[in-house]
Every structure is written in C-alpha cells, then in structure tokens.
Amino acid sequence: MTSWPLDKPSQLWMALSRERFEAPALQSEIEADVVVVGGGISGLATALELARRGRKVVLLEAAKIGYGASGRANGQVISALTRHGPAAIRALEPGEKGDRLIALVRDAADMLFALVDKYAIDCDACRNGWLQPAHSEGRARRTTDLAEQWAAVGAPAAALSSHAMQARLGAGGYHGGWEHRGGGHINPYAFTLGLARAAAQEGAFIFESSPAWRIGRVRNGWLVETPEGRVSAPKIALATAAHTGNLWPALRRSIVPVTSYQAATEPLGELATRILPDNEAVSDTRIDLRYFRKDRDGRLVSGGALALQIGASRRLPALVAKRLHNMFPALRKKRMEFFWGGRIAMTIDRLPHLHRRADGLCAWVGCNGRGLALACAMAPVLADAIDGVPDDELALQPSKPRAVPLHAITSRIARFILPWYRFKDSCEI
C-alpha cells in the first residue's frame, strides 16, 4: 500500500488527470466587481457563472486549484440530499420555496454534466447512474418511498428489488434500494481543473498560492489582502467551507468540519467486469456510510471516517479493505494502492444554507458529502444572491448563520460519535 500525507491532493486523481491548469500568485492591487475566495468547485462554478454574466471576477485560491476537498472527493455525482427527500423538503419549506429547492437538488447532476459537455472537461465523466442499496429491510422501505417521491417530481428514479440490486452491484447482502439514473461519477480533481480553465476562458481572473489573510470593509465595499496583493470589490463570496477560519467567524461556527478519507485498490483486471458491471456510483443507507465506484483503470475507490485519526494511513485502508472483502470476497487478493483524505463541511440538519449580508458578503455551506453536483447547482443561486435578486425569488432562501451548539467542543469531538453510528446501523431491521 502506498500512502500520501493529507497536505497533498489525491495522487490517484492527479495521475489519471489529463486536465492541466496553472495560475500565478496575486502580486499587485486589483479591482473587481466580485472577489471569490476559494478555488474548489463551489468557488470556480460561481466565478464561471458571474463571468458569463459580464462581471469582473477575481478568484483567490490559497494553495493550488484542486488541492482542497473538491480534488480529494470520491467523485460521485448525486442529485439527492443525504436525509431529505421531496416530502421532507416541502415540510420545511411549503409551497413555491420548497418546489424551488426540490428542483435545484433534482437537477444538480444535470448542471455538472452540462458544464462537462459545454467546456469539454476531460474528467472521465460517466453518467451510468447512482445506486443507494438498503442495508436493512426498514431502510429498503424508506428507499422505495424516496424513489417514488423523486420520480413524482420528474427525476429518473426507481426502486430496486434485492435481486436487481445484487445484479447491479455484483454482490449480495442488501435488501434492495433505489437508483437515480441521472447520477454518475467523475475524476473530481480533473473536473476542478477543467472548471478553472472554463472560468478563465470566460474572463475570470484566477490566482493560486494567494490565501486571503484578511477581509475588511472599505468605503466602496470590501478589501481582501493576500501575502503579496490586494483585491477591492463591492461584493465578496466565500467558497471556503471547512477552511473558512476567521474570515467569517459566524459562518465557521455554523458548520462542523469532518475529515473524509479515501482509498483505492489496485486495478481489478477481469474482476472489474463482475463488480459494478454497469459502472454506477454507489453509497448505501448506513449512517457510517459505505460507498464505492470504479475509476477508468478498474480500481475500486471507496472510503470512510475514523473516530481516532492516529495511524489513518494504515487503519483506514485496512478498514475499507475489510468491508470490500466482505462484499466481494474475490478482492482478498487485491491490495490497497492509494490513500488520501480531505476536510468537508457538515451542517447539523444536513441541509445546504445560503447566507447573504447587506454589506455584500455572501456564502453557502452544507455540501454534507454531496458537494460535487450541489456546488454546480448552487453557483447560479449564489450568483443571483450576489447580483441582488430578492430573497423570495432565490432558489434557496437566505438565512443568518446559526452557530452549532458548543461549536468549539463539537468540532473536536464530532468524529467520536462514529462508534454509536455503527452500533445504530447494526441494530436496524
């Protein structure tokens, strides 16, 4: 097994990427209409959208494009939230507001794949669907209900029997589940680089190695200071998620940062034709999620979380290997070849939240592990918020950041709830 430190992006996705992108560091003073802080998918998609609308956009990335969570993801493209189906969304947001949010989630994968097509992003895009197998009979009933709800609002969704799910996975052990045929998977690092190329093509000014050290109000808006430069703009969008730090303390306190680890097998060879024969992406119904997909070389890419992060480069691949071997016994002869991890932002209610202040500071948070497609769908919404579209006309209603109770403690101990989640998963019937 080969392991890489967490301060580097996924060596697997980098090795497979045919996309390339480089940008200079900001070393001057520049004016813009909007400054976007954060060069992940959320920030890049927003910068792209604003540039297409004719705005002068400056995007600042602290490291290199693709080095954050966007380039470290598993790469699954999912048009669904982790907990809320259409009925739950309507219960929270009745009427037109709920319908807008449902449409945003339903069409999220369409948005991502449309960007791939429009800008010819070479990211091994595969749109063969997404599967959610049910790990218990109770969860199977819930997934059947979810499939019916999403199909009723126009999504290409359907429930699957245990037999059908076994054929699609190439393994048993699940009680059916559901499929969303609009989902799929990508090389997330390559997609992020391609999105940067597209944003620059549309006129956005992108600067790497330019961390936003400070943001502050000035007479005509905002001033963002980097180590060697400054950007002034009337509006600022923070696309920093788990890396927000002190740029907007209230935003930082509204999320719980979590380290998500990934691991990949060596190429499966002939086995790849029997495991996920139709090449979908998979994430099941457990709280302690089991998820996996194949890359273009036939590796199985999976991941998980750890309560204790000590020895993660050894323990996480071993945990993933054990789970995969239980599902696919033939994998016992295949070693784990790659390991990496990244920080994602979770919200307590597992919903996305849009925030807009009267002084021109905007952000959205709450990818909750579904960030690839959702970030693309949220880009026009965040751009609308920046452009001053009234609250009632936005696809997601703006709100004030709500602090996570005992945030300083919760952020440090959140991962220790994993054993309880695993116990709950094992008890479900």
Question: For residue 429, is it within any domain?
Answer: no
Under 8 Å between Cβ of 352 and 367 = yes
Tokens describing residue 394: 């936005």
Could you tell me if 142 and 227 lie in one domain? no
Could you tell me if 157 and 109 lie in one domain? no
Q: What's the chain's Rg over C-alpha atoms?
A: 21
**Run of H or E including 135:** none
Tokens describing residue 132: 């959610």
Question: For residue 159, is it within any domain?
Answer: yes
Question: For residue 2, is it within any domain?
Answer: no
Could you tell me if 60 and 121 lie in one domain? yes
pLDDT of residue 408: 77
- Give which of 354, 386, 347 is closest to 370, Cα–Cα: 347
Question: For residue 6, is it within any domain?
Answer: no
pLDDT of residue 422: 64
Tokens describing residue 343: 């920080």
Under 8 Å between Cβ of 369 and 130 = no
Question: For residue 104, is it within any domain?
Answer: yes
Could you tell me if 117 and 145 lie in one domain? no
Question: For residue 424, is it within any domain?
Answer: no
Under 8 Å between Cβ of 383 and 51 = no
pLDDT of residue 38: 97
Could you tell me if 134 and 123 lie in one domain? no
pLDDT of residue 418: 59
Under 8 Å between Cβ of 32 and 233 = yes
Could you tell me if 68 and 171 lie in one domain? no
What is the C-alpha separation between 280 and 185, in angstroms, rounded?
7
Question: For residue 418, is it within any domain?
Answer: no
pLDDT of residue 371: 86
Per-run averaged pLDDT (10 residues), the chain, 429 residues = 47 95 98 98 98 98 94 96 96 95 97 98 98 96 97 98 97 96 98 98 98 93 97 97 92 91 96 97 94 97 90 93 95 93 90 96 92 96 97 94 82 67 68
pLDDT of residue 215: 96
Could you tell me if 103 and 155 lie in one domain? no
What is the C-alpha separation between 45 and 379, in angstroms, rounded?
6
Could you tell me if 62 and 157 lie in one domain? no
Could you tell me if 66 and 161 lie in one domain? no
Q: Decide: helix, strand or coil at residue 374.
A: helix
pLDDT of residue 425: 67
Could you tell me if 255 and 348 lie in one domain? yes
CA-based torsion, 414, 258, 38, 368: positive or negative: negative
Question: For residue 421, is it within any domain?
Answer: no
What is the C-alpha separation between 362 and 399, in angstroms, rounded?
11
Give how many domains the chain has, as a whole number.
2
pLDDT of residue 410: 72
pLDDT of residue 416: 65
Cα separation of the two ends of the chain: 36
CATH at 105: 3.50.50.60
pLDDT of residue 405: 85
pLDDT of residue 17: 97
pLDDT of residue 143: 97
Range of the domain at 319: 11-129+182-413
Could you tell me if 93 and 189 lie in one domain? yes
Under 8 Å between Cβ of 285 and 135 = yes
Could you tell me if 99 and 231 lie in one domain? yes
